[in-house]
């Protein structure tokens, strides 16, 4: 599947798409003000709210969001410091980001949303869930950072060059998708956004993209939980996925062969089907 990165003009939603005719639903792109911070929100679909916390490399609307929005009201907030969202200067710890999203849920008026996070966003979603699990209808983690495992440390992505980063993120580092998402030479219009994203990730995950105490609190996650992992993840190995599953009561784990750290990008259709099937089955049991 060939994906083309699109740079949004003023007032246009930012999308990473697979060509014309891929999007039939209305996508809204707004900036709201909350406690002195500007937050960019992309939204699409109808139904129960699903809040998607993005990874450090794809902070735009993706095919996975379209797939989920076929059944849910998907909200993609851009983290503080990324793109057009402000407020990073006031945030020093992961807990600050947790409170940021607690405030956002209150402003949006969401009751028992589904919380889904990928990579850095998965770590953030987990930190939220161990504190406010009763607020969530379900938790979905995709190759989440956050755990410190002896003998299976997360890769320090700040030490990697472009080729090494592509190899860590993707099963096939030579694929068009990998080269578009992590280009040898970034397009001029994307450089500022990429530098901002790197700054945010460094703020919370410099050298150690984890919380050494997180594993000991996973028992506090009591909402239905699905864990999705790329078998060939070169950033956080599948051992981390198994550790999340062991720590969270009744968590389900789906491992995707031939997939790296970003399965929601690399195999978006498969991930979408897994997530929707899981949520449908959980709803049927209620």
Mean pLDDT in the chain? 90
* pLDDT range class, residue 170, cuts 50, 70, 90: very high
- Average the pLDDT over 262-267 and give the result: 97
pLDDT at 138 over 90: yes
CATH fold group of domain 4-285: Rossmann fold (3.40.50)
pTM summary value: 0.91
The predicted structure's pLDDT at residue 5: 31
What lies within 8 Å, CB to CB, of 201 at 6+ separation is 56, 120, 157, 209
* pLDDT range class, residue 239, cuts 50, 70, 90: very high
- Average the pLDDT over 249-276 and give the result: 97
The predicted structure's pLDDT at residue 2: 28
pLDDT at 232 over 90: yes
Q: Count Cβ atoms below 10 Å from residue 246 Cβ, excluding itself.
A: 12
| C-alpha distances in Å from residue 162, one per residue of 57, 206, 260 | 13, 18, 16
d(CA 96, CA 236): 24
pLDDT in tens, 174-218: 999 999 999 999 888 888 888 888 999 999 988 789 999 999 999
The predicted structure's pLDDT at residue 16: 55
Q: Count Cβ atoms below 10 Å from residue 35 Cβ, excluding itself.
A: 12
pLDDT at 10 over 90: no
Where do the DSSP E strands lie in 87-143?
114-118, 138-142
- Average the pLDDT over 93-99 and give the result: 95
pLDDT at 21 over 80: no
d(CA 146, CA 102): 19
- Among 38, 189, 183, which Cα is nearest to 100's? 38
pLDDT at 19 over 60: no
% pLDDT > 70, the chain: 91
pLDDT at 11 over 70: no
């Amino acid at each position: 599947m060939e994906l083309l990165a699109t740079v949004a003009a003023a007032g246009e939603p930012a999308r990473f798409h697979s060509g014309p005719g891929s999007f039939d639903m209305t996508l809204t792109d707004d900036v709201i003000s909350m406690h002195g911070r500007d937050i960019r929100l992309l939204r699409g679909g109808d139904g129960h709210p699903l809040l998607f916390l993005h990874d450090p490399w794809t902070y735009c609307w993706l095919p996975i969001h379209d797939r989920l929005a076929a059944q849910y009201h998907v909200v993609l907030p851009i983290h503080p410091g990324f793109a057009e969202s402000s407020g990073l200067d006031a945030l020093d710890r992961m807990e600050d980001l947790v409170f940021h999203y607690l405030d956002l849920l209150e402003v949006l008026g969401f009751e028992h949303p589904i919380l889904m996070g990928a990579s850095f966003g998965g770590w953030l979603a987990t930190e939220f869930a161990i504190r406010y699990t009763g607020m969530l209808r379900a938790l979905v983690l995709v190759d989440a950072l956050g755990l410190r495992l002896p003998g299976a440390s997360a890769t320090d992505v700040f030490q990697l060059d472009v080729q090494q980063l592509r190899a860590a993120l993707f099963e096939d580092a030579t694929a068009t998708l990998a080269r578009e998402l992590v280009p040898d030479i970034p397009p001029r219009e994307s450089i500022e956004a990429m530098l901002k994203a790197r700054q945010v990730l460094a703020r919370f995950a410099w050298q150690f993209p984890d919380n050494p105490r997180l594993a000991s609190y996973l028992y506090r996650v009591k909402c239905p939980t699905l864990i999705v992992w790329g078998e060939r993840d070169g950033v956080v190995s599948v051992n981390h996925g198994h550790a999340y599953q062991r720590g969270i009561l009744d968590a389900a784990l789906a491992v995707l062969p031939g997939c790296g750290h970003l399965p929601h990008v690399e195999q978006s259709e498969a991930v979408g089907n897994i997530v929707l099937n899981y949520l449908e089955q959980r709803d049927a049991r209620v």
